[in-house]
Structures are given as C-alpha cells and as structure tokens.
C-alpha cells in the first residue's frame, strides 16, 4: 500500500542505528562501562539467544540491565535475574497480580484515569505530555495494578521518568530500596488487599519469601515498567500529533486498536536491549568472550529486521502478523506485558475517540548516547494542544 494509507506512515528517523551492522554481520562489537560487549542484532539471533538460558544466563544480580546497576541497588530483581528452573517458581508466585489487567474492574479503572488526564488536557490551552500526562498515567495505573492507595501514586509521580537515575544519568542512590522496605513494614503493621501485603504472606517452594526476595520483587515492579511505559505513552501521542490522518482513520477502524498497539511496541521498542552473562568462554559473532562477560540482546534492532518484518521502516498500524519482541522472548518474557498492553490500548482508544487532533507545539526527543550507537526514542519534553472531538447536531 502507498503512504497515502492513514495506517502506514514512515518511522521517525534515529530509531534504528543498528541497521548497517545487523545487515552485515548481525552483531555489533562495542563496549559498555569499559568492558567489551557484543550486541546481537538480528531477530533470529536475539530470539535464539533469549531462549538459550544455559549458555546466556540471567543469574547475575544487578548485571542483567545494561548499564549494570550496582550503583543504584543491592538486591536481585525477581524473577528477572534468576534462571530456570527456579525462575518458574519465582514467576508463578507473583503472576496472579500481573494477570489483573484482564479484570474488567481494573480495565475500567485505567480507562477512568486516561479519561481524567484527557479532560485535564482539554481544559488547558496546552499540555506538557511527559510530566503532566505520561508520568501520572504510569504511576496511577501502577497503583491500580498493585491496589495501592491513591496517595502513593502522588508520591510516585514526583519521582520523574527514572527511579534510579536523574536526567543526566547520575545515580539517585538506594532510595528505592529504603522506600520498598517502608512499604513492607507498613503492610505488616496495617495489612491491606494490595501487592505489598501479599508479598509479606507469599511462599515459594514451601517457605515464606525472605525480606531480600520481597525487596527484589518490588524493585522491578517500580523500576521495570517506569521509563519504558512513559516513553511508549509519549511516543504514541507524538505519532498521532505528527499523523492526524492515522488518528482519524483509526476512529473508523476500532478493530485495529490491538494491532496498532502492538505496532507501536515494535516501532518504539522502549527497552533498547538487555544483558545476559556468559557462564563459560563463548564465541559470539566471530570473537571469543571470556567467562562472566556480558552479551546484549538488542530488542530494538530485532524489531526492525527486514527478515522478520516486511517494510520495517514503516509504521503499519494494521500489521499482521507482528512477531515483535519488545517484551522479550523465552522464559524471561516481560511479566508486565499485560499491564503495558492495557495502558497502551486504552490510550489509543481514548485519543482516537475523544480528540480530533493533537497539535505539537514544542519537543525534545529522548536520546541514548553509548560508545557504539546513538538512538532516539520517546520524548524528554513534548508540549501539545488537544483538539476536542467536534460534535454534530
């Protein structure tokens, strides 16, 4: 189809700095924090590596994220930083809470939050999306997921885009661990029907969770879906601001809301990559890497691989099939995928059905600067004006 189709638009520039290396060797040999790290770039290669947990391990506290996080936390993130078979048990223990986005009550609650934020935007001459829309939506949706008091969300909003680092990437220290410990203490003193109380009562393999395990779960609950969801929200709104015809076209095709949501995850790929650790000396991309070195699984590159996605540089809101791996693949696939999908699908539906346009007034794109690449995704600043839906008489 031609670019005149409202559902097919060019991908914004700067989101795929890996194309040349992906199409050449499939691996980018670079470095992070002064250590050599091979980035696996092809869709096939990333999927295979993600499934091969014996050769590419997640049993590496604070070293699975890249850059590593020893300067911002001391706890192992559960279940992310555990390999099979223990990973299965840790995942099964917490999974019921992360299935809550299927609950009609939670769906309605998230819809109400999005409606309220759109109401607030329509009541103003303009709106800064990152701080006045995306961060509140992420925080309030998390409060709904965890069944936390609304006042907790007000505090989370004050944290900004990242819980671990400031705008310059500097560590905020270990405040999150201290805060999570306070939440668990509060749950013991005043039990509620929330995630924090549930963690104090959960068992694994026939024994209660340790305090370290409880803190590890909460650490990833707060950090894992923070900036990723915020960048997704801003990316969706920015796209509709640049492509009003897509916004209006989806109004006539509500059957495409789910497909559009998945295509946004593919194109935006809010997590550029994640790490695995080598249990033994291993050849990767034609080079030998020593035991305990890391490998990068580059989700963002895999999601632009022409071998997996026809016209990968086009946003196709009706793309089907769409084997994107924005949430990972294999045993460690993202536990919060249902939650992210609920937020994004609801956001698309409400923008499409309540607005006639989104006018972009000023922006600052979010950029990653690393020795081997620079990538643009999401926004650090996005000021817009919402155009209300015209009513017909």
Residue 295 within a domain:
yes
Q: How high does pLDDT run on average in the chain?
A: 95
pLDDT at 3 exceeding the cut of 60? no
Number of domains in the chain: 1
The string of pLDDT tens digits covering residues 76-91 is: 999 999 999 999 999 9
Q: Which structural domain, as residue segments, surrounds residue 143?
A: 8-162+225-388
Residue 168 within a domain:
no
> Are the beta carbons of 18 and 301 closer than 8 angstroms?
yes
Residue 270 within a domain:
yes
The string of pLDDT tens digits covering residues 229-243 is: 999 999 999 999 999
The string of pLDDT tens digits covering residues 261-276 is: 999 999 999 999 999 9
Residue 91 within a domain:
yes
Residue 1 within a domain:
no
> Residue-wise over 364-376: b if at least 16 C-beta within 10 A, else e?
ebbeeebeebebe
pLDDT at 302 exceeding the cut of 80? yes
Residue 328 within a domain:
yes
The string of pLDDT tens digits covering residues 202-254 is: 999 999 999 999 999 999 999 999 999 999 999 999 999 999 999 999 999 99
Residues 150-156: contacts with CB under 8 Å, at least 24 apart: 156/222
Q: What is the predicted pLDDT for the residue at 391?
A: 72
Residue 134 within a domain:
yes
* Cross-strand partners of 373: 370
User: pTM for this structure?
Assistant: 0.96
Residue 244: which CATH number?
1.10.630.10
Q: What is the predicted pLDDT for the residue at 166?
A: 79
Structure-block tokens of residue 324:
């994107």
Q: What is the predicted pLDDT for the residue at 168?
A: 73
Cβ–Cβ contacts within 10 Å for residue 124, how many?
11
Cβ–Cβ contacts within 10 Å for residue 305, how many?
23
Residue 73 within a domain:
yes
pLDDT at 15 exceeding the cut of 80? no
> Are the beta carbons of 264 and 351 closer than 8 angstroms?
no
The string of pLDDT tens digits covering residues 152-180 is: 999 999 999 999 987 777 888 789 999 99
């Amino acid at each position: 189809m031609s670019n005149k189709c409202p559902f097919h638009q060019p991908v914004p520039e700067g989101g795929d700095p890996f194309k040349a290396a992906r199409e050449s060797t499939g691996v980018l040999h670079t470095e992070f924090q002064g250590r050599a790290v091979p980035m696996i770039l092809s869709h096939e290669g990333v999927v295979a590596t993600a499934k091969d947990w014996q050769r590419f391990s997640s049993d590496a506290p604070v070293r699975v994220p890249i850059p590593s996080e020893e300067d911002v936390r001391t706890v192992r993130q559960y279940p992310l930083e555990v390999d099979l078979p223990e990973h299965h048990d840790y995942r099964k223990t917490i999974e019921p809470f992360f299935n809550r986005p299927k609950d009609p009550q939670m769906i309605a609650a998230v819809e109400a939050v999005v409606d309220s934020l759109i109401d607030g935007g329509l009541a103003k001459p303009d709106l800064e999306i990152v701080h006045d829309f995306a961060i509140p939506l992420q925080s309030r949706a998390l409060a709904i997921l965890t069944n936390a008091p609304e006042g907790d969300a007000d505090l989370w909003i004050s944290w900004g885009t990242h819980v671990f680092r400031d705008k310059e990437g500097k560590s905020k220290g270990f405040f999150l661990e201290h805060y999570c410990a306070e939440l668990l203490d509060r749950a013991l003193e005043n039990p509620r029907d929330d995630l924090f109380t549930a963690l104090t009562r959960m068992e694994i393999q026939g024994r209660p969770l340790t305090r370290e395990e409880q803190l590890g779960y909460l650490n990833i609950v707060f950090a894992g879906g923070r900036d990723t969801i915020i960048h997704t929200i801003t990316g969706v709104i920015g796209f509709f601001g640049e492509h009003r015809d897509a916004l209006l076209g989806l109004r006539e095709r509500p059957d495409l809301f789910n497909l559009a949501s998945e295509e946004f995850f593919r194109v935006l790929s809010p997590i550029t990559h994640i790490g695995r650790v080598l249990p033994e000396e291993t050849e990767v991309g034609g080079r030998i890497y020593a035991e305990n070195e890391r490998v990068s699984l580059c989700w963002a590159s895999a999601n632009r691989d022409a071998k997996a996605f026809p016209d990968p540089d086009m946003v196709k809101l009706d793309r089907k099939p769409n084997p994107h791996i924005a949430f990972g693949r294999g045993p460690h696939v993202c536990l919060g995928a249902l939650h992210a999908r609920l937020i994004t699908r609801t956001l698309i539906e409400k923008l499409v059905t309540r607005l006639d346009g989104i006018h972009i007034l000023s922006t600052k794109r979010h950029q990653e600067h690393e020795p081997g690449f620079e990538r643009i995704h999401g926004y650090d600043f996005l000021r817009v004006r919402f155009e209300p839906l015209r009513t017909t008489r």
